[in-house]
Chains A and B, each alone.
Chain A
Amino acid sequence: MKKEIGISAMLIVLCVAVAILNPLFLSVTNLQNTARLVGMFGIFSIGVGVVIITGGIDLSVGSLFALFGVLLSFMLMSWGWSWPLAVAAILLTAVAIGVFHGFLVTKMNLQSFIVTLCGLLFYRGLARYIAEDQTLGFGYCTGFETLHRLTTGQFLGVPMPFVLLIIISFIMWVVLHRSVYGRYLFAVGRNEEAARFSGINTSLVIASSYVVSALMAGIGAILLAFYTNSISPSSHGNFYELYAIAAAVLGGCSLRGGEGSVIGIVIGAALLQVLQNLVNLLGIPSSLNFAVMGTVILIGVIADQILGRRKLKS
């Protein structure tokens, strides 16, 4: 709980600071756009966070955005599938990919870093090959306006991705912090051996986390594809896995596993987006984007370490 309070404070301070330096931050358009981005990044960050809680890592999500974006465009534009079918197909593919990752990690005993690094390379390559490196899009979304509205529209002025994030994070909060499955996730992340000795099917628990992550990436991919409406397979979603990992770590997940919370991850994702926004609004050269983000994450982690050490001493 302490960590969530810390990072919330950081977020609020940052928002206030940006708002003072540039009142445009509080304009409806800017807030809506930021919320839209927070929604998208928050959703797949939760997925990656679940994997991190079990002590693993998922590097493949960024490339999955490209692959799913390309596939979605093909299904809707070229093959003329109905949109519910296309969405279902994407989500099912995501689940299958998650199962595959989980299988490799638990049954083949491969390190998750390696498995998902290979995924990062493979899915990106596959996306580029399928699209023949052409930029794809959805044109005017003729025939699937509903899907377009569901992904990019608003509900009572709140952008749909943010609405979805609220729904998903509530569900995931219950799953992670109140359900038997959630307790197993944390137990496995803390001490896999002891969890196994307590009768938990640790392989199944770990494997399932990759399914959750891939599924969240699937949902995120659909939102992102419609948000950009332009999928260039070589750059679409590049580095997004790192945003997710950064959000999870900022939000209190330990890469050693067993620690973290949904609220923390969501606030971490929000913090990263506000930072992006800050770079834009304060006229900082956008080339410094990553540098700013890296610095802030580092400061956050160092602060946490120092405070943690002080707590141990007292």
Chain B
Amino acid sequence: MISEKPLLEMQGIDKSFPGVKALDKVDLTVYPGEVVALIGENGAGKSTLMNVLGGVVEPDSGTIKIEGQSVVIKNVSDAIKLGIGFIHQELNILDNLSIAGNIFLGREPTRLGPLRIINRRRMWAQTAPYLQELGLNLPASTLLSQMSIAHQQMVEVAKSLSLNARLLIMDEPTSSLTLSETKRLFDVIRQLRSNGVSIIYISHRLAEVKECADRVVGLRDGVNVGSLELEKITHDNMVRLMIGRKVEEFFVSPRAKGGDKFFSVSGLSTSRYPHHKISFEASRGEILGFAGLVGAGRTEMAHAIFGVEATKGGLVSISGEKLQIRCAGDAIENGIYLVPEDRRKCGLITEMTFRENITLPDLNRYAVLGLIKRSRETVISEKQCEKLKIKLTSVETLVKNLSGGNQQKVVLAKWLSLKPKVIIFDEPTRGIDIGSKAEIYHLMRNLADEGVVIVMISSDMEEILGVSDRVAVMHEGKITGILTQGNFDEEAVMRLAVGQKDWTGNKNN
């Protein structure tokens, strides 16, 4: 199956972004008909490397060869011409168009000469074979808005095939698929492979990688840290390749022993999963991790607790006192804060200054008779800036000019200028460099030690295992289990995350 001549050779790819070296002399070789899995932590450089290949970003230096020929990929259309197809995690589709309309976007077959009327029949006829090849049993005229995400993804694959793709990049293709859809995707991958298409498969889900990859390449901090041949692809080897250190190194053990059940949520149901109820308790001084697959309803839960999303019933209480939370203002008044997943959209007003962001939730505190005293704001802002070691030229800096890690610290600084009782972190280190990550973990631990309840939603397994004192695992809107320190490991969490009740054979809770 694997011929001796590689399809793709990337050599010495370097790429820096302001403040971060994203790729450091990375080599990557892919043979025809080979499935190469690219693994690594968030921020290891996987996406950047693939963006270089897909023409989304230009490398600072390095060479790319396709079938031995040096090529220059300046933009996406260069990549397409070279037979490189990129299936992004966020699908690149127009859901108001049909399957055929998406596949032939920008190169629609036309008729009536200069009138360029779209020849729909021909478009549909030309679409059908690709759908058949991928086992997609739908008419080519189906609107994408009426299809599941898995099927939409297949349309993207079909589009790449129609563009004669020889190499498909799939970035986290299963992140929003159900288990059976995932199985179906693997069948397609196998079939493409047997047709000689090479695939670069990016995933955090090691079980999937094990199932479909011929070879595994690990990236860590922008460096290619080696590869595993087929027979060496085991779970342990992959974890070692990815993290290169023991998981425990993250973990700082709690100073205070919890157990006071200070914060409790009972019977909470969100509008996404109206029939499931979420109940849990958390104590002062503990970090309660929330694991689960994307779409398990963790973010919705956080939003419901914080009052920014309507609930279908449920009770939130702090030290036994029931709270009425109808909007974020109510939650904030009661000392419950959210560090949201999408900090640029929900956490910060990036076009405003650091000072204005910090004081926004409790602006009246800085005002006399409704008029803001800027000097008071400045004092607090400078204090918070120093306390959280945020690198700023002045508190009047616009937040959009800060790095991801610093922006996350701004969100945190905003809440820490108040009196936190419970802080919910939703994906606290997504898109943040390693250094800032460690700082944020320490901040969380320090807050917990000061008696704040920390709820941490994370899809990063190492983070969940390395930072939490207890781990609650969610699956489709329900908590399927709560594991305590000492008896959670990746496997137990994964089992619960996919909805298995029996997460352990010999350990007990």
Could you list which residues of chain A lie within 8 angstroms of chain B, going by C-beta atoms?
A: 174, 178-181, 183-184, 186-187, 190-191, 193-201, 258
CB pair A193–B364 under 8 Å, yes or no, is no
Q: Tell whether B352 is near chain A: CB-to-CB under 8 Å.
A: yes
Q: Given A198-B361, A201-B329, does the pair A190, B349 have CB atoms closer than 8 Å?
A: yes
> Could you say which residues of chain B place their CB within 8 Å of the CB of A197?
306, 308, 328, 338, 340, 346-347
Binds A, one of B206-214, B260-268, B366-374: B366-374
5 interchain pairs (CB within 8 A)? Answer: A183-B356, A183-B372, A197-B306, A198-B361, A200-B360
CB pair B370–A194 under 8 Å, yes or no, is no
Give Cα A174 to B368, complex, Å. Answer: 13
Q: Given A194-B346, A194-B347, does the pair A187, B352 have CB atoms closer than 8 Å?
A: yes
Q: A193-B346, A199-B362 are in contact. List 12 more A-B contacts (CB 8 A).
A: A178-B371, A179-B367, A179-B371, A180-B364, A180-B367, A180-B370, A183-B363, A187-B360, A190-B349, A193-B345, A197-B340, A199-B333
Q: Which 4 A-B pairs have the closest CB atoms?
A: A199-B329, A199-B332, A198-B360, A199-B328
Q: Given A179-B367, A194-B347, does the pair A199, B356 have CB atoms closer than 8 Å?
A: no
Give Cα A201 to B327, complex, Å. Answer: 8
CB pair A190–B351 under 8 Å, yes or no, is yes
> Could you say which residues of chain B place their CB within 8 Å of the CB of A174?
371
B17 to chain A, nearest CB (A): 18
Q: Given A183-B363, A190-B351, A258-B351, does the pair A196, B370 have CB atoms closer than 8 Å?
A: no
> Could you say which residues of chain B place their CB within 8 Å of the CB of A178?
371-372
Could you list which residues of chain B lie within 8 angstroms of chain A, going by C-beta atoms?
A: 306, 308, 327-329, 331-333, 338, 340, 345-352, 356, 360-364, 367, 370-372, 414
CB pair B308–A194 under 8 Å, yes or no, is no
Give Cα A193 to B348, complex, Å. Answer: 9
Q: Given A179-B371, A183-B363, A187-B360, does the pair A194, B345 have CB atoms closer than 8 Å?
A: yes
B193 to chain A, nearest CB (A): 42
Picked from A181, A195, A196, A198, the residue with its CB within 8 Å of the CB of B414 is A198
CB pair B363–A184 under 8 Å, yes or no, is yes
> Could you say which residues of chain B place their CB within 8 Å of the CB of A181?
370
CB pair A191–B332 under 8 Å, yes or no, is no
Interface of A is mostly: helix
Closest A residue to B333 by CB, please name it.
A199
> Could you say which residues of chain A place their CB within 8 Å of the CB of B328?
196-200
Picked from B308, B329, B348, B372, the residue with its CB within 8 Å of the CB of A180 is B372
Closest A residue to B340 by CB, please name it.
A197
> Could you say which residues of chain A place their CB within 8 Å of the CB of B308?
196-197
> Could you say which residues of chain B place their CB within 8 Å of the CB of A190?
349, 351-352
> Could you say which residues of chain B place their CB within 8 Å of the CB of A199?
327-329, 331-333, 361-362
Interface of B is mostly: helix
Give Cα A195 to B331, complex, Å. Answer: 14
> Could you say which residues of chain A place their CB within 8 Å of the CB of B351?
190-191, 258
> Could you say which residues of chain B place their CB within 8 Å of the CB of A201?
327, 329
CB pair B329–A200 under 8 Å, yes or no, is yes
B400 to chain A, nearest CB (A): 10
Give Cα A184 to B331, complex, Å. Answer: 18
CB pair B360–A183 under 8 Å, yes or no, is yes
Closest A residue to B364 by CB, please name it.
A180
Give Cα A179 to B370, complex, Å. Answer: 5
Between A178, A199, A200, the greatest number of chain B beta carbons within 10 A of the residue's beta carbon is seen for A199
Closest A residue to B342 by CB, please name it.
A193
Give Cα A190 to B399, complex, Å. Answer: 13
Give Cα A196 to B310, complex, Å. Answer: 13
> Could you say which residues of chain B place their CB within 8 Å of the CB of A258?
351
B374 to chain A, nearest CB (A): 9
A218 to chain B, nearest CB (A): 23
Give Cα A179 to B371, complex, Å. Answer: 4
A70 to chain B, nearest CB (A): 36
CB pair B349–A195 under 8 Å, yes or no, is yes
Give Cα A183 to B352, complex, Å. Answer: 10
Give Cα A24 to B356, complex, Å. Answer: 48
> Could you say which residues of chain A place their CB within 8 Å of the CB of B363?
180, 183-184
> Could you say which residues of chain A place their CB within 8 Å of the CB of B332?
198-199
Give Cα A180 to B359, complex, Å. Answer: 10
Between B308, B329, B351, the greatest number of chain A beta carbons within 10 A of the residue's beta carbon is seen for B351
CB pair B348–A194 under 8 Å, yes or no, is yes
Give Cα A196 to B370, complex, Å. Answer: 20
> Could you say which residues of chain B place their CB within 8 Å of the CB of A180?
363-364, 367, 370-372
A2 to chain B, nearest CB (A): 14
Give Cα A251 to B53, complex, Å. Answer: 45
Give Cα A196 to B346, complex, Å. Answer: 8
Give Cα A186 to B349, complex, Å. Answer: 10
Give Cα A276 to B363, complex, Å. Answer: 43
> Could you say which residues of chain A place their CB within 8 Å of the CB of B364?
180
> Could you say which residues of chain A place their CB within 8 Å of the CB of B360?
183, 187, 195, 198, 200
A40 to chain B, nearest CB (A): 28
Give Cα A190 to B398, complex, Å. Answer: 13
Give Cα A179 to B132, complex, Å. Answer: 63
Give Cα A194 to B410, complex, Å. Answer: 13
Give Cα A101 to B340, complex, Å. Answer: 31
Give Cα A179 to B361, complex, Å. Answer: 14
B335 to chain A, nearest CB (A): 12
Closest B residue to A188 by CB, please name it.
B349
Give Cα A190 to B349, complex, Å. Answer: 7
Give Cα A225 to B349, complex, Å. Answer: 42
> Could you say which residues of chain B place their CB within 8 Å of the CB of A187?
349, 352, 356, 360
B369 to chain A, nearest CB (A): 9
> Could you say which residues of chain B place their CB within 8 Å of the CB of A200?
328-329, 360
> Could you say which residues of chain B place their CB within 8 Å of the CB of A183?
356, 360, 363, 372
Give Cα A59 to B372, complex, Å. Answer: 32
Picked from A179, A186, A193, the residue with its CB within 8 Å of the CB of B352 is A186
CB pair B345–A191 under 8 Å, yes or no, is yes
> Could you say which residues of chain B place their CB within 8 Å of the CB of A196?
308, 327-328
> Could you say which residues of chain A place their CB within 8 Å of the CB of B346?
193-194, 197
> Could you say which residues of chain B place their CB within 8 Å of the CB of A195?
349, 360
Between B333, B347, B362, B364, the greatest number of chain A beta carbons within 10 A of the residue's beta carbon is seen for B347
Q: Given A195-B349, A197-B347, does the pair A179, B372 have CB atoms closer than 8 Å?
A: yes
B159 to chain A, nearest CB (A): 32
A202 to chain B, nearest CB (A): 9
Give Cα A184 to B329, complex, Å. Answer: 13
> Could you say which residues of chain A place their CB within 8 Å of the CB of B347?
194, 197
> Could you say which residues of chain A place their CB within 8 Å of the CB of B361?
198-199
Give Cα A258 to B353, complex, Å. Answer: 13
> Could you say which residues of chain B place their CB within 8 Å of the CB of A198?
328, 332, 360-361, 414
Give Cα A190 to B400, complex, Å. Answer: 12
B49 to chain A, nearest CB (A): 29
